[in-house]
């Protein structure tokens, strides 16, 4: 039976690379986007032209009805879900906590934390052997920021990833006996469009020399770690973190 993976944020950087690599590995891929339909459809077209199967749907992961509809669309198109990659995520503009308002904090936490939890809930409902599923794997895209804290840049974003780390540990234990493994990757400085959203498109160039390996990472390098955590190669690994951060 074909394995089916849901990749949230599959229109952008790490999610798009993961969608492409998963298709290469034989998964049917359902990917979500929130604004950039054209980028999502490009990923779908690339996968189709390489002989794979993919579907893109608009869904704001912070909106419960969108998430429910997204997973239903995946069920209807590809059948039983085997895996989830929670890659959708945002940063807000760089600054200091003293200047952040509640609307900003809620936006970051809703997309990064509530969104990942809602998607994981939908995946668990489908994959749990307690509920008639066949088991599966979840990979949360955290960040090295959860450890570093991102002072002066975006402590709210870093804290949202701290929540993802704790969620990964708890959910991994909660569903371990139900055939579901839950792990996280913690990317470091990865060359994607997310940095422009922080208000500094040149952030990667500014910081790359501070990385022990003296360079930024690529979305594909993160995607390879994600694919390993999804695969049976990591069959005894759950509640774990794989840093893809060049030693940062």
Contacting residues toward ligand NAP, per CB under 6 A: 8-9, 11-15, 32-36, 39, 60-62, 87-90, 111, 115, 141, 143, 187, 189-190, 192-194
Q: Rounded to the nearest whole angstrom, what is the least distance from the CB of residue 198 to ligand NAP in the complex?
A: 10
Minimum distance of ligand NAP from residue 62's CB (angstroms) = 5
| CB of residue 153 to ligand NAP, shortest distance in Å | 12
Element (H, E) at 245: none
The rounded distance, in Å, linking the Cα atoms of 105 and 112 is 11
DSSP line for 79-147: -S--EEEE----------GGG--HHHHHHHHIIIIIHHHHHHHHHHHHH-GGGT---EEEEEE--THHH
Residue whose CB is less far from ligand NAP, 111 or 127 = 111
The distance of closest approach from Cβ of residue 230 to ligand NAP in the complex, given in angstroms and rounded to an integer, is 16
Residue with Cβ nearer ligand NAP (88 or 120):
88
Identified catalytic residue from 27, 33, 157, 236: 157
- Residue with token string 């608009």: 58
Check: CB of residue 51 under 8 Å from CB of residue 28.
no
Using the minimum distance from each CB to ligand NAP, give the nearer residue, 14 or 128.
14
Max Cα separation, the chain? 53
Q: Are 162 and 119 in contact (CB under 8 A)?
A: no
Please say which residue, 64 or 178, places its beta carbon nearer to ligand NAP.
64
Question: CA 184 → CA 22, 92, 187, 204, 242, distances in Å?
Answer: 17, 22, 10, 22, 6
The position carrying tokens 């509530």 is: 114
Q: Is 157 a catalytic residue?
A: yes
> Annotated active-site positions, please?
157
């Amino acid at each position: 039976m074909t394995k089916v993976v849901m990749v949230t944020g599959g229109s952008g950087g790490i999610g798009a690379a993961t969608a492409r690599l998963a298709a290469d590995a034989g998964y049917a891929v359902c990917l979500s986007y929130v604004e950039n339909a054209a980028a999502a459809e490009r990923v779908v077209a690339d996968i189709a032209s390489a002989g794979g199967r993919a579907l893109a749907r608009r869904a704001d992961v912070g909106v419960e009805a969108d998430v429910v509809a997204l997973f239903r669309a995946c069920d209807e198109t590809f059948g039983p879900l085997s895996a989830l990659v929670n890659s959708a995520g945002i940063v807000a503009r760089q600054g200091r906590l003293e200047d952040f308002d509640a609307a900003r904090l809620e936006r970051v936490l809703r997309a990064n934390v509530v969104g990942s939890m809602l998607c994981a809930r939908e995946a668990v409902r489908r994959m749990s052997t307690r509920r008639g599923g066949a088991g599966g794997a979840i990979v949360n895209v955290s960040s090295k920021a959860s450890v570093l804290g991102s002072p002066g840049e975006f402590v709210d974003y870093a804290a949202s990833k701290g929540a993802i780390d704790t969620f990964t540990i708890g959910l991994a234990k909660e569903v371990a006996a139900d055939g579901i493994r839950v792990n996280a990757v913690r990317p470091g400085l990865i060359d994607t469009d997310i940095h422009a959203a922080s208000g500094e498109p040149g952030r990667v160039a500014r910081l790359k020399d501070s990385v022990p390996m003296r360079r930024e990472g690529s979305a594909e390098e993160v995607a390879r770690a994600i694919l390993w955590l999804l695969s049976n190669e990591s069959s005894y690994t759950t509640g774990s973190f794989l840093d893809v951060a060049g030693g940062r």
